[in-house]
Amino acid sequence: MCLLAIQYRLGPESPILVAANREEFYDRPSTVPSIQSGKPRILCGVDQQAGGTWLGVNQHGMFVGASNRTKTTPPLVPRSRGVLCKELLRAGSAREAVDIALEAMAQREYDGVNFVVADEESGWVVHGGDDYEVVELNEGLSIIANGDVNDPRDERVKLAHRLLTLQTLDSPVKFLAVASKVFARAPTPPGRPSMVIRGRERGTVSSTLLALGKKPRDAIFQFADGAPDEVKYEDYSPLLRDILSRGLRESRTRAQA
């Protein structure tokens, strides 16, 4: 399980704003966000069991996030969805990443998964369940958990949408300030939708807040290494700004050549 909210194209200076809670088994180790080797450079956490990731940004300013999805007939030995997520982050654009995701899913080697893929040019949700489809992100707020994007039947999605629209989120700072409280909302009693999930063997293990804009210096990446109602968000923005600045320099060098 995971829950992800993306505010897409809020304004020309802040096209991508994200808040996401990751749910996983407590005994499945992962690292905090770090810059991965290879090209393009990627900032993401790494699942130490399979080597993939659940959320990241590359030096081109492209964001990819993943959530599990129900699938009636999963493969007997499925390939890692997190490794595929990391492979998508090597793409040069959101459109290219979507094509890679669809080609991979056509092989029927993965368990159910949703991918949210967005850059300055385009934003998409790839639903990979029993069938697979691509949905273009609308401008504004979209929320996805373990079903379709903005699924009206998902009580957790509806709760997140209600809490995030109680006030106008008309700037990156305001969005992140509100989202940091919404996604850190303490667990509710059993049977009710909850932002933070705390089960016996699995639950919310981390949380991410992200802002991508026109300028690398304005980028924000905050990460809570644990349930955000118990662990504070730490700032990884300097790492994100570093890879975005590197990407901008490389694109300018190519243009001059």
Dihedrals φ, ψ of 247, to 5°?
-65, -40
Span 69-122, pLDDT tens digits: 989 988 999 999 999 999 999 999 999 999 999 999 998 999 999 999 999 999
The domain that holds 7 is classified in CATH as 3.60.60.10
Please give the Cα distance from 168 to 51 (Å, whole number). Answer: 39
Q: By residue range, what is the domain housing residue 143?
A: 2-256
Helix (H, G, I), strand (E, B) or coil at 52: coil
Q: What is the pLDDT of residue 119?
A: 96
Count of structural domains, the chain: 1
Task: Give residues with Cβ within 8 angstroms of 25, minimum separation 6.
Answer: 201, 202
Q: What tokens appear for 50 in the block? A: 């399979």
Distance, CA of 157 to chain centre: 15
Please give the Cα distance from 142 to 134 (Å, whole number). Answer: 14
Range list of H helices, the chain: 81-88, 94-105, 155-164, 172-182, 237-256
> What is the DSSP-derived secondary structure letter of residue 48?
T
Q: Tell if the pTM clears 0.75, that is, is over it.
A: yes
Q: What is the pLDDT of residue 255?
A: 82
Decide: residue 187, CB within 10 A, 0-12 exposed, 13-18 middle, 19+ buried: middle
Span 177-224, pLDDT tens digits: 999 999 999 998 888 999 999 999 999 999 999 999 889 999 999 999
User: Using only C-alpha atoms, what is the Rg of the chain?
Assistant: 17
Span 124-178, pLDDT tens digits: 999 999 988 999 999 999 999 999 999 999 999 999 999 999 988 888 999 999 9
